Amino acid sequence: MDTIITRFPPSPTGYLHIGGARTALFNWLYARHNRGKFILRIEDTDAVRSTKESVDAIFDALAWLGIDYDEGPYYQSQRYDIYSAYVEELVASGNAYYCTCSAQRIEEMRQAAKARGENPRYDGTCREKGLPASSDAVVRFKTPIAGNTILEDVIRGNIVFSNSEIDDFIIRRSDGSPMYNLAVVVDDITMKINTIIRGDDHISNTPRQILLYRAMGANVPVFGHVPMVLGDDRARLSKRHGAMSVTAYREMGYYPDALLNYLVRLGWSHGDQEFFSKEELIEKFSLKNVGKSAGVFNPEKLLALNAQHIHSAPAERLAPHLLPFLSERGIDAREDKYLHRVICTLKARSKTFVEMAEGALFYYIAPQSYDEKGAKKFLQPENIEALVKLAYALSDQDAFDEKSLAPVFQKIMDETGLGFGKIAQPLRLALVGKTVSPGIFEMMEVLGKGETISRIQRCIAVLSGKSDASA
């Protein structure tokens, strides 16, 4: 078996969206699984719609996803001379011809066909004229009049197209720039791409491309058309379906591996398995298990999977992703032991990095105020005693982990007759300022003895002041 060579050819007319990322992922996984090559190619032959910003956004998104490439990025806009050489060869071999029919004529032809209830297609006016090259001539491919072209799709099986359905399509514009089908085929030939995995919206283009491969005397690659991703209304994914750019998910605090995991499972399966690490994906991915029907993008399942990835990843791997969200909130935390411990207490209760960052704030900033409802319930004059006892007991405490802290609490519970909750909730308010937080002991351990006690004392002071004032 030859080395598998796949590619991802986005056209830079906008951000990398979920569907594009999924196509890139399938190609990347297939190449990685087979120890082959994955090539990135920018299809920017549409000078009007292609932008540099889009190119950068695509690079940025791919890098974040961890989808790397072995070759490229190639830019079609820099390869016009190559396309022209192939086009001229096609003309020389009688497989293509110059056509001077005006756009207006073509349009009339189309309208007429429509009026007759027929399919709009080029009528072949210039097909046998043997016209020479000229500044206003386009080049058309001379499609065989009869016969069939068969697409042997590894995912869908054979699909037969009648050549009579295909008209003499343009392969080079009058300005000399190549059309999509021509550029793609020339690139895939010259880049030695032997496996093409793409969305099934490309199926109807494929016979034209196969015809082009044959006319150029090249081997036809293996094609695999994967089902598309739909919105919740079963329509093709678009902006109106909400956040669809890869970058948007980064901003919402998603973990790239989780997004990859979700995307690949939309259309591919490995038995009942739902959770995959990236390494596992590379190991287990195969085209055999790609389904044929379109799938609806489900943000809730993605969220659940994201939570699961965050829960199971080690703190060291999570930290770099969390940092930007902390700095967004004015905390210039650095990646250190403390951050890792912070993350460990937050992992299980965070579905996204946004949630994790919110939950981590109190570790870096002592509470400036206490949650109103919580204070009303747990920070009353009668709660002061427990906090005071706690502050004293804790200051005698050297070890600050759950095992050594638990007896301290037990002792106070015995002395005061209070239940654990009656001590823990006021303490939680003192430490966090809120009624929601990680477990009391793990939190104290991370915060450390000094910080824990000072926050308790601060709370006692506020409480005393309050009770004095209201007395």
Partner RNA sequence: GGCCCCAUCGUCUAGCGGUUAGGACGCCGGCCUCUCACGCCGGUAACACGGGUUCGAGUCCCGUUGGGGUCACCA
Taking CB under 7 A as the criterion, the residue among 439, 449, 451, 467 binding RNA is 439
By CB under 7 A, name the one of 121, 278, 329, 449 that touches RNA: 121
Residue 466: active-site member: no
Q: Is 296 in the site for RNA (CB under 7 A)?
A: yes
Please work out, in degrees rounded to the nearest 5, the angle formed at the alpha carbon of residue 119 by the alpha carbons of 117 and 125: 115
For residues 93-112, which are near RNA according to CB under 7 A? 102-103, 106, 110
Pick the binder of RNA from 424, 449, 462, 467 (CB under 7 A).
424
* One residue of 375, 438, 455, 463 binding RNA per CB under 7 A: 438
Question: Which residues within the stretch 219-258 sit at the binding site for RNA (CB under 7 A)?
Answer: 227-228, 230, 234-236
* Residues comprising the chain, all counted: 471
Catalytic residue from among 129, 239, 292, 301 = 239
Among 78, 219, 298, 380, binds RNA (CB under 7 A): 298
Closer by beta carbon to RNA, 250 or else 309: 309
Tally: H helices and E strands in the chain:
19, 12
When asked if residue 78 is in the footprint of RNA (CB under 7 A), the reply is no
Q: Which residues contact 464 (CB under 8 A, 6 or more apart)?
A: 384
Question: With binding defined as CB under 7 A, does residue 304 bind RNA?
Answer: yes
Q: Is the dihedral of CA 326, 327, 330, 336 positive or negative?
A: positive
**Minimum CB–partner distance for residue 89 and RNA (Å):** 20
Closest to RNA by CB, 205 or 467: 205
Q: Is 204 in the site for RNA (CB under 7 A)?
A: yes
Cis peptide leading into 73, omega within 30 of 0? yes
Residues 383-422, interacting with RNA (CB under 7 A) = 420-421
- The helix/strand/coil state of 44 is coil
Q: Interaction with RNA in 138-167: which residues (CB under 7 A)?
A: 138, 156-157, 159-162, 165
CB 101 within 8 A of CB 94: no
200 touches RNA by CB under 7 A: yes
**Does 128 contact RNA by CB under 7 A?**
no
Are 250 and 352 in contact by the 8 Å Cβ rule? The answer is no
CB-based contacts of 429, cutoff 8 Å, min separation 6? 367, 370, 371, 374, 375, 378, 379, 435, 459
Residue 202 near residue 269 (C-beta atoms within 8 A):
no
Residue positions annotated with a catalytic role: 239
